[in-house]
Structure 1
Amino acid sequence: MADLILSAERHSELAELLDDEQRLQAEYPKVAEYLDMAVRLSGTGDVRADHAFDLRFIHYMTGGDDVSEDPYWEIVGPSVSGNEGRRLVNGGKPEGSPRLAFAQIILQAVYAYAVPSPETVQWISRFCDGGPVVELGAGRGYWAKQLARAGVIVNAYDSEPPDRAQNASFRRSAGQADVWHPVEDLEGFTARVSERPTDTVLFLCWPPGWGASMASSALASFEALGGERLVFVGQSKGGQTGDDAFFDRLAANWTLESVDRDHVSWWNSVDVAQAWVRA
């Protein structure tokens, strides 16, 4: 991806914003938080690349839909490099950097835990083959937004829609969208799947791990409704996503059909994108 080039007008807008610390804190507290901490943290060692990342971060985090409908990828895409056959957001360094790790925390809270690269979005679209998607645990609906932009019919659900409930993982913050795509509570899930159970795709993106049963419960419900197609983005069994019962159910009842080899992960939390069908 080419270096970001700002128009003279946009350059002036950002300069004015950054010169007014009180306004920056009030209107874009996440950007202010990052800039305050970034100067204290070491970067990748490539000063030019680190400055370019900071510029993208500021521009897309404060620009809204006027500058991009996919700000997450615009920010992290140029920081992706290959390492042992994987595409990683690491700033060109296998070990990443403390500054990038701090940016990661903010970006995951503002957008999504996993990175929806354009290649992965298209891979999911091909797997769906015109069928609808239901996403459970959708958070802010950022993945749902990108899938919808790609022409996929998608309904997003979460037990705590961030625009209507207190969601510990996706808290409200000035200057950032509560949701990127309509996110409904769980009541509509059963009815939606029941309309087209065999060609509806269940999408689970970073379902909670550490013993939480959300992933296995969602898969069991989907199976009971006649669902036959699943996309999972997360870590392997024993990682931060999904419970053991979820992976055991996959192994017993499902067949792995496809793996996205172009999927992009953060360097320090490598995940996978997999498409499954009922055995």
Structure 2
Amino acid sequence: MAKLTITSSRWEELTTLLEDEQRLRSEYPKVAEYLDMAARLTGTGDDQVDAQFDLRFVHYMTGGSAVSPNPYWDIVEPLVNGHDGRHVVNGGREEGSARLAFAQMLLQATYAYAIPAPQTIEWIGDFCDGLPIVELGAGRGYWAAQLAHAGLTVDGYDSEPPDTAANASFPEVVGQADVWHPVADLAEFATRARPAEYVLFLCWPPGWGDAMSSDALMAFEEAGGERLVYIGEPRGGKTGNDAFFDALSARWRLESVDSHFVSWWTDADVAQGWVRA
């Protein structure tokens, strides 16, 4: 397990917070909710691993960007294991655990659906080869923040920017950042000049027949776009629609796949780099 280093002053802050249940529930309701549920749910079977995960969860969820530029990764990284040639967060158990599944739900709503491991951020930078990035469906802008922190130029857009609109996937919650990077609305995206001299980034575009992914790809093609980063599940999964995958098959070529991509054990998402055929 990756070592967690906490300063004495931070230990004192956490101790004071956890001893004041009313304050914890008021300032960090999702952390309080997790701690309430965690004790009732089956964990990994290793009490020490579970306790360390709980500590990481509390430390990074309450510390935000002040304690880490990528708290999502710092919380889950120790529970990453190899399984069937993939890197998955499962705590060392093929079936994961009920406690980890509950944490997954909270973490995805707090940060992003996909996990931005540092190796994946580096892979995206290599694939973009100096081009700026435009992320559509950026959510809280968590991935955009990680890319920007790595020195990449990235603009994020969403139909419902969480800091200015109600977003069911990323609701406003006390004690959590609404956005980690500026996220503009689609009306502002529509004013961007053509041609599309940037890499289009789609991270977990909605599935179940939603046309967002295919519409975004078609507009990108019409604007002359030539490079796409797609993070999501294969055809028939939770992300993208059939028209999106049809377009990829017909007019695009898969150039790169991130072999270090980390996924939740419950998901089948991958990180792919596509170029116009």
TM interval, short-chain normalised: over 0.9
**In structure 1, C-alpha distance between the alignment counterparts of 2:149 and 2:133, rounded to whole Å:** 13
Deviations 1:173-193 (A, max 9, x none): 111000000000012324436
Determine the C-alpha separation between the residues in 2 that align with 1:18 and 1:238: 43
The aligned runs of 1:159-198 (5 Å cut-off) are 159-192=159-192, 194=194, 197=196
Q: Deviations over 1:8-35 (max 9, x none)?
A: 2211211111111110011000100100
Q: Find the counterpart in structure 1 of residue 151 from structure 2.
A: 151
Contact 1:208 1:214 in 2 (8 A): yes
Instruction: Give TM-score scaled by structure 2 length.
Output: 0.98
Where does residue 82 of structure 1 map in the other structure? Answer: 82
Contact 1:190/1:225 (8 A) holds in 2:
no
RMSD between aligned residues = 1.0
Q: 2-side partners of 1:4 and 1:153: how far apart? A: 31
Matched to 2:185, the amino acid is: D
Identity level (%): 65
- TM-score scaled by length of structure 1: 0.97
Q: Does 1:8 align with 2:8?
A: yes
Select which of 232, 235, 249 maps to 2:233.
Answer: 235
Corresponding residue for residue 127 of structure 1: 127
> How many residues in Structure 1 have an aligned counterpart in Structure 2?
277
1:183-262 aligned at under 5 Å gives the runs: 183-192=183-192, 194=194, 197=196, 199-262=197-260
SS in 2 for 1:103: helix
Question: 1:192 is paired with a residue of what secondary structure?
Answer: coil
| Pairing 1:34-183 to 2, within 5 Å after superposition | 34-183=34-183
Give distance in 1, aligned partners of 2:79 and 2:192: 38
User: Does the aligned pair in 1 maintain the 2:2–2:77 contact within 8 Å?
Assistant: no
**3-state SS of 2:228 partner:** strand
Q: Deviation digits for residues 37-93 of structure 1, max 9, x if unmatched?
A: 111100010111111100000000001222111100000011101112100011111
The whole-number CA distance in structure 2 between the counterparts of 1:5 and 1:184 is 36
The answer on 1:268 being equivalent to 2:270 is: no
Unaligned runs of 5+ in 2: none
Q: Which runs of 5+ in 1 are unaligned?
A: none
Give CA deviations for 1:232-262 in whole Å, capped at 9, x if unaligned: 0000000000011100011011000000010
CA distance in 1, matches of 2:19, 2:193: 51
2:81, 2:193 → 1: CA distance? 38
Q: In the aligned structure 1, how far is the partner of 2:110 from the partner of 2:193?
A: 28
Tell me, in whole angstroms, the C-alpha distance in 1 between the residues paired with 2:66 and 2:198.
33
Q: Amino acid of the residue matched to residue 124 of structure 1? A: I
Q: Tell me the alpha carbon deviations over residues 214-243 of structure 1, each in whole angstroms, 9 at most, x when there is no partner.
A: 000000111111111100000000000001
Q: Distance in 1 between matches of 2:193 and 2:252?
A: 18
